[in-house]
Amino acid sequence: MIAARLYGSVYLAVHLRGQAGYPFRPLAAIERDRDRRVRAMVAYAYRLVPYYRETMDRLGLRPADFRTAADLARLPILERDQLQRDPEYFVSTAQPLDRYLRLRSGGSTGAPRTIYHDVRALLQNRAHAERESPIIARFVGRRWGYRMASVGSPLSSGQEIGRFLGARSFTPPSLRIERQALSLFDPPEENVRRINVLRPDILHSYGSYLEVLFGYLHASGESFHRPKLITYTSDGMSDSVRRLIEQEFHIPVLSTYQAIEALRIAFECEQHLGLHLNVDLYPLRIVDENGRDRPLGESGDIVISNLVNRATVLLNYRLGDVATLRADRCPCGRSLPLLSFPEGRSDDLIQLPGGGVMHPQAIRIIFTHEPQVWQYQVMQETATRFRIAIVASPSCDRAQTSVRVREGFIRTFGSEIQVEIEFVDSIPRTRGGKVRPVLSLCQQSALSGQDHG
């Protein structure tokens, strides 16, 4: 085990070299790195991943047909339900499954997925975080040794990755951060109290939870330790709440874009104009519903290729988010192209019988361990009544699944609630083509109806 940890640390150190300055390299050099990774990954996938071997043989494609990232569009667009039906079909046979980290997502999209990650990919991801550290240092005043309070869930993939890598590497001092974990299921007043005691330099959470927290602070006027920086993963924060945090609380805000399928897609810089894409690692296309490329500057579905992960290999995969590739360069000088902030990942908050609210992640977690559930939608009709629609695999034991889901709701929201579960063939989509997984008909704004727009 010590040998494995030493190996992991050396591997990490090698990959850390040059990362902090990487976003400023000339675009042509970045694209050369990207295309080299495309060739290597396609050859690997053809050799070791059943789906790619069979698909490329069927289409008469060979690895040599893939020279640049543009060639990835020669593969059919891989849809999320294909991955849900048969996750192992997309996993490399290079190692047995139990050597990979298996991550499950309850999904802000309402469609749970299983993705395997290999150790080297996770170590590389940690190295790639260095691309963001000069930006953070600018706000916090130092590169390491700062305190960060994270409001999340104990079951989050970030925590799982931390435990998995902790057993396989030593964290170099330059990456050491004093982390404090808070739970997003605790009421905002409780977390405000803890933050006032911990006095973190950075506060990190889901965008949607920060809406709850700052909505509470704004409404209550309670005193609050102001962190130097707020970071969030882009599961949706409205412009009005962002402006509230920046202008009323005077705290700068940075977001990153990540998914369980691709752990470090893009990050925001100090110019706040959008997200810088790690295109050498996760080349990205914007397409319409038929899979045709959208013109630059127009919004569409994000299709991504992961050139880092060699466990579940995803090439030309429709991620389920909507955004726009921007044509302009960022004045910060980074060459990595800009993506608009992705649209529409936000769910409604759940109203509690006592009058409080709970983050929709509480519901996502209930579905995280239900591999037979392909898609769900939860409609809160009153504070105590939920109606749930489920699209399940043909092999799903519906009676058992209903029992587990109902128990999960009662555990989370109390025994006085009523839960009605219905198995359906499909779930209606919104105008933008997305499923809203959590809808509350008794929704109140996180800002108690006050408009800051």
Task: State the binding string over 156-195 for Zn ion (x if CB under 5 A, else -).
Answer: ----------------------------------------
Nearest to Zn ion of 88, 328 (CB atom): 328
Question: How far from 8 is each of 13, 37, 117, 226, CA to CA, in Å?
Answer: 9, 21, 15, 37
Stretch that binds Zn ion, among 10-18, 313-321, 329-337, 437-445 (CB under 5 A): 329-337
Minimum gap (Å) between residue 231 Cβ and Zn ion: 16
Q: Which stretch binds Zn ion (CB under 5 A): 15-23, 210-218, 253-261, 263-271?
A: 263-271
With respect to Zn ion, which residue has the nearer C-beta, 338 or 390?
338
Give the range of 163-171, 178-186, 264-272, 320-328 binding Zn ion by CB under 5 A. Answer: 264-272
Query: Which of 356-361's residues contact partners 24+ apart within 8 Å by CB, and which partners?
Result: 356/187, 357/212, 357/444, 357/446, 358/185, 358/412, 358/413, 359/184, 359/185, 359/206, 359/208, 359/209, 359/212, 360/108, 360/208, 360/437, 360/438, 361/106, 361/153, 361/184, 361/185, 361/206, 361/209
Minimal distance, residue 57 CB to Zn ion, in Å:
42
Question: What's the longest Cα–Cα distance across the chain?
Answer: 65
Q: Does residue 332 touch Zn ion according to CB under 5 A? A: yes
Stretch that binds Zn ion, among 42-50, 227-235, 330-338, 378-386 (CB under 5 A): 330-338
Task: Give the alpha-carbon dihedral of 184, 189, 190, 196, to 10 degrees.
Answer: 110
Query: For the chain, what's the residue count?
Result: 453
CA distance 430 to 445: 20
Torsion of Cα atoms, 187 then 193 then 196 then 197, to 10°: -120
Distance between CA atoms of residues 192 and 247, nearest Å:
19
Q: How far is the CB of 135 from Zn ion (least distance, A)?
A: 9
Q: How far is the C-alpha of 423 from the C-alpha of 122, rounded, in Å? A: 37
Q: HSE-up of 346 (CA within 13 Å, CB side)?
A: 19
Residue 159 or 271 with smaller CB distance to Zn ion: 271
- What are all long-range contacts of 368-371, with beta carbons under 8 Å and residues at least 24 apart? 368/104, 368/105, 368/106, 368/112, 368/155, 369/104, 370/112, 370/401, 370/404, 370/405, 371/104, 371/112, 371/114
Nearer to Zn ion, 19 or 271 (CB): 271
The CB-of-332 to Zn ion minimum distance in angstroms stands at: 3
Q: Which residues pair with 323 in a beta bridge?
A: 300
How distant is the alpha carbon of residue 436 from its chain centre? Answer: 17
Q: Contact region for Zn ion (CB under 5 A) — 33-41, 332-340, 363-371, 429-437?
A: 332-340
Among 122, 253, 330, 405, binds Zn ion (CB under 5 A): 330
Q: What is the 3-state secondary structure (H, E, C) of 307-366?
A: CCCCCECCCCEEEEEEEEECCCCCCCCCCCCEECCCECCCCCCEECCCCCEECCHHHHHH
Output 332 or 392, the one with its CB closest to Zn ion.
Answer: 332
Q: Would you say 302 or 338 has its CB closer to Zn ion?
A: 338
**Among the residue ranges 135-143, 187-195, 334-342, 382-390, the one whose residues contact Zn ion (CB under 5 A):** 334-342
- CB-based contacts of 14, cutoff 8 Å, min separation 6: none
Sites for Zn ion among residues 270-289 (CB under 5 A): 271
Among residues 365, 14, 326, the alpha carbon closest in space to that of 185 is found at: 365
Minimum Å distance from CB 326 to Zn ion?
Answer: 11
Interaction of residue 299 with Zn ion, rule CB under 5 A:
no
Q: Which stretch binds Zn ion (CB under 5 A): 65-73, 162-170, 322-330, 381-389?
A: 322-330
Between 238 and 271, name the residue whose CB sits nearer to Zn ion: 271
In this complex, which beta carbon is closest to Zn ion, that of residue 73 or of residue 273? Answer: 273
Q: Counting contacts by CB under 5 A, is residue 340 touching Zn ion? A: no
Least Cβ distance, residue 25 to Zn ion (angstroms): 14
Kindly tell me which residue out of 78, 212, 269, 304 binds Zn ion, with binding defined by CB under 5 A: 269
Q: Which is nearer to Zn ion, 334 or 436 (CB)?
A: 334
Residue among 207 and 274 whose Cβ is closer to Zn ion = 274
Nearer CB in complex with Zn ion: 271/445: 271
Stretch that binds Zn ion, among 227-235, 324-332, 407-415, 423-431 (CB under 5 A): 324-332
Q: Which residues bind Zn ion (CB under 5 A)?
A: 269, 271, 330, 332, 334
